[in-house]
A = this chain, B = another copy of it.
Amino acid sequence: MGGDHGPSVTVPAVLDALRRHADLHIVLVGLSEPTRAALGRSSASFGSRLLLREVTQVVSMDERPQDALRKKKDSSMRVALDLVKSGEADACVSAGNTGALMATGRFVLKTIDGIDRPAIISRIRARHGYTHMLDLGANAQCSAQHLFQFAVMGAVVAGDMAGIAQPRIGILNIGEEETKGDGVVQEAARLLSASQLNYVGFVEGNDIFSGEADVVVTDGFTGNVALKAIEGLANMLVGAIKEQYTANPLRYLGAIASWPALRSLRREFDPRTYNGASMVGLNGVVVKSHGSADVLSFGNAIGVGLAEAQKGVPTRIGQMLREQLAHVSEHISPLLPASEPHTTEVTHAAGGSC
Which positions in A face B, CB cutoff 8 Å? 62, 64, 99, 126-127, 137, 140-141, 172, 174-175, 177, 179-183, 204-210, 218, 220-222, 224-237, 239-241, 244-245, 247, 250-251, 253-255, 257-262, 264-265, 268-269, 345, 347, 349-352, 354
- Can you list the 10 inter-chain pairs with the closest CB atoms, starting with the nearest? A205-B228, A206-B232, A254-B258, A257-B257, A205-B229, A209-B232, A244-B261, A205-B225, A174-B224, A258-B258
Given A244-B261, A254-B260, A264-B244: A354 and B231 within 8 A (CB)?
A: no
Q: CB < 8 Å: which of B205, B240, B268, B349 contacts A182? A: B349
Using known A-B contacts A209-B236, A258-B258, A349-B182, determine if residue A226 contacts B226 with beta carbons closer than 8 Å: yes
**With the chains together, A64 CA to B179 CA distance in Å?**
10
Contact A175 B205 (CB under 8 A): no
Contacts of A265 in B (CB 8 A): 240-241, 244
Chain B, residue nearest A236 (CB): B209
Residues of B within 8 A of A227 (CB): 205
- Pairwise interchain contact A225-B222, C-beta atoms closer than 8 A: yes
State the copy count for this chain.
2
B182 touches A206 (CB 8 A): no
CB distance from A94 to the nearest CB of B (A): 18
- Cα separation A106 to B262 with both chains bound (whole Å): 48
Prevailing SS type, chain A contact patch: helix
B224 touches A205 (CB 8 A): yes
User: Do the beta carbons of B229 and A226 come within 8 Å of each other?
Assistant: yes
Decide: A205 near B226, CB < 8 A? Known: A137-B174, A236-B127, A258-B251: yes
Q: How far is the CB of A200 from chain B (nearest CB, A)?
A: 16
Q: Which residues of B have CB within 8 Å of A182?
A: 140-141, 221, 349-350, 352
Contact of A174 among B210, B225, B269, B345 (CB under 8 A): B225
Q: How far is the CA of A10 from the CA of B160 in the complex (A)?
A: 50
What's the Cα separation between A268 and B240 when bound, in Å? 9
A258 with B230: CB separation less than 8 A: no
- Known contacts A205-B228, A206-B228, A227-B205; is-contact A174 B220 (Cβ 8 Å): yes
Q: Known contacts A179-B351, A224-B205; is A240 also within 8 Å of B269 by CB? A: yes
Q: Counting chain B CB atoms within 10 Å of each CB, which of A174, A177, A224 scores highest?
A: A174
* Residues of B with C-beta under 8 A to A239: 127
- Chain B proximity of A350: nearest CB distance (Å): 8
Find the B residue at minimum CB distance from A251.
Answer: B261
A204 x B230 contact (CB < 8 A): no
Chain B contacts of A233 at CB under 8 A?
208-209, 230, 233-234
Closest B residue by C-beta to A231: B206
- CB atoms of A261 and B247 under 8 A apart: yes
Interface pair A230/B228, CB less than 8 Å apart: no
B126–A236 contact, CB under 8 A?
A: yes
